[in-house]
Amino acid sequence: MKPRSLLLHTTAMRLALRYAVFYAVLIALGLGALYWAISRYVDAQLAAGLEQEVHELASLDRQQGRQKLKALLKSESLIIGENRRYYLLDETKSNKQTGNLLAWPHALKVEGKVQNIWIEDDLIPGYMEDQDGYWPMVGVVLDDGARLLVAQAVRQAEDLQEFILATMAIIIVVSVGLALAMGWRLGRSLLDRIELINKTAERVTAGDLSRRVPLSGQDDEFDELAGHLNSMLSQIEVLLTGMRQVTDNVAHDLRRPLARMRNRIEVTLLEPRKTEDYRQALEETMTDAEELMRTFNALLEIAQAEAGSYRGEWKEVDLSALLEELSELYEDQAAEHKRNFKVQIEKELLVTGNRQLLAQVITNLLDNTFKFTDNGGSILLEAIHEDGKIQVSVSDDGAGIPADQRDKVLQRFVRLEAARSTAGNGLGLSLVKAVADLHKASLHLKDNNPGLRVVIEFKG
């Protein structure tokens, strides 16, 4: 898509157009009202002038006689004055007409009131330069029954109207033009920045996950949007990298038992064997299969917990009761394996979450302490309220984890050298991390001097 074709569709352009129309209408209404008021004023002024003149002429006729009036009309008629007035005296008795209007307009009544009458060109003498139109005029009857009219050519009034109309037109055209120009400029600058985002998105879609939307540095909404998009892209990149790594790990960690199973079966089938040999091979294969299934289940559980929107039961869990139950299970275990197992659990520790997952997390941590301590080792399960948070910790005085390895062990399938000889799949702490995240709890691996102290901190 080319930006040019998009321009009319930009929000800025649409807004500009909408405002342009709005203001044009507003200006038209205002000027219309002004025009109307001025017209009224001008009309009233004209009417008053016409009425005054016709009365002056009538009183001249009354006081100084008809001849004086006629003389005046003749001289007035010959001068085309600035005010462009027309006169006609119609003496009905002698059927004589004096003045510069060629005939008496039929529609004009002699009531002394101003009327707008349509005047054709043929009523106007050729030397006058006025044109046809509605002319305001007034007619009166003189003492002897003769009629007298005074008319105003409309050119003056029309000039004013035309001037106002032209002004209105110019203002409207200019304001719409300005609005469009502004809209275009604004639209262009919006489009340019959106183009940047589009280009980045295209690159990312094409597989270049390291692309980011450049920021303008203006710290505006676009920079904010770009910032959000960039952090989204970073998150996607992290997740994808993680997924690739997990896939690699899964392939690596599952290939070994699978290869072992296949080799065993292959060798067993090479030649006829005794029943006990078959039985032994099958039993060993089943053990391998079970191990594989455990690994798969653990991976599935981690994936479900990491999915963010957990579909399992989610309600208030009495953490104190749950930990008591678990410690009961492990107390005998500790006695049998000669571990010094201590438990300190405060009452009424409540968290919202999934009981099974929480129990499994504590179980994983306790299982680990048994794995990584020797006979006589100490294990502490502690749960306390602190600063409005609920803190559950599992500590031991075993080998511990070097500080620089503590983040690493949370990843899937990571087993440190010390753990190579023990049973396990390297997924225990990954699940702990995933479940802690799911419960919005923070997970800390700390030095227990010696040993490891794992702390899960729930928001109270």
Partner 1 sequence: MHILLVEDDLSAAAYLVKGLTENGHVVDHAADGEDGLHMALTQKYDVLVVDRMLPERDGLSIIRMLRADNNTTPVLILSALGEVDDRVEGLRAGGDDYLVKPYAFVELLARLDALARRGNENESSIGLSVADLELDLLKHKVTRAGQVIRLQPRELRLLEFFMHHAGQVVTRTMLLEQVWDFHFDPQTNVIDTQISRLRSKIDKGFDRPLLHTVRGIGYKLDETP
Token representation of residue 61 = 């006729």
348-367 residues in contact with partner 1 (CB under 8 A) are: 354-357, 359-360, 363-364, 367
Measured N-to-C along each axis, helices 155-205 and 11-64 cross at an angle, to the nearest 10 degrees, of: 180
What residue ranges in 56-159 does DSSP mark as E strands?
85-91, 96-99, 115-119, 133-141, 147-152
DSSP state of 340: E
For partner 1, which stretch binds (CB under 8 A), given 211-219, 225-233, 326-334, 379-387?
326-334
What's the closest the beta carbon of residue 410 comes to partner 1, in angstroms?
Answer: 18
Q: How many amino acids of this chain bind partner 1 (CB under 8 A)?
A: 30
Please compute, for residue 202, the number of CA atoms within 13 A of its CA located in the half-sphere on the CB side. Answer: 6
The Cβ of residue 393 has, within 10 Å, a number of other Cβ atoms equal to: 19
Nearer to partner 1, 152 or 360 (CB): 360
Q: Residue 52: which H helix or E strand, with range?
A: helix 11-64
- Buried residues in 239-267 as b, exposed as e (16+ CB within 10 A): eeeeeeebeebeeebbeebeeebeebeee
| Amino acid in the structure at residue 303 | A
For partner 1, which stretch binds (CB under 8 A), given 132-140, 305-313, 388-396, 397-405?
305-313
The yes or no reply on residue 271 touching partner 1 (CB under 8 A) is: no
Nearer to partner 1, 239 or 329 (CB): 329
| Amino acid in the structure at residue 389 | K
The yes or no reply on residue 280 touching partner 1 (CB under 8 A) is: no
78-97 residues in contact with partner 1 (CB under 8 A) are: none
What's the closest the beta carbon of residue 215 comes to partner 1, in angstroms?
Answer: 42
Interface map 395-434 toward partner 1 (x if CB under 8 A): ----------------------------xx---x------
Q: What is 147-186 written as a DSSP string? A: EEEEEE-THHHHHHHHHHHHHHHHHHHHHHHHHHHHHHHH
Short-list 397, 354, 359, 347, CA closest to 376: 397
For partner 1, which stretch binds (CB under 8 A), given 140-148, 179-187, 235-243, 290-298?
290-298
Nearer to partner 1, 138 or 383 (CB): 383
Nearer to partner 1, 12 or 452 (CB): 452
Evaluate whether 164 touches 20 at the Cβ level (below 8 Å): no
Helices (H), 129-274: 155-205, 221-269
Among residues 48, 165, 181, 293, the one that binds partner 1 under rule CB under 8 A:
293
The yes or no reply on residue 254 touching partner 1 (CB under 8 A) is: no
What's the closest the beta carbon of residue 309 comes to partner 1, in angstroms?
Answer: 12
Torsion sign across C-alpha atoms 100, 105, 109, 113: negative
DSSP state of 121: G
The yes or no reply on residue 336 touching partner 1 (CB under 8 A) is: yes
The yes or no reply on residue 341 touching partner 1 (CB under 8 A) is: no
Nearer to partner 1, 81 or 308 (CB): 308
For partner 1, which stretch binds (CB under 8 A), given 9-17, 26-34, 288-296, 396-404?
288-296
For partner 1, which stretch binds (CB under 8 A), given 108-116, 183-191, 309-317, 341-349?
309-317
Site residues, partner 1 (CB under 8 A): 290, 293-294, 297, 300, 304, 311-313, 325, 328-330, 332-333, 335-336, 354-357, 359-360, 363-364, 367, 370, 423-424, 428
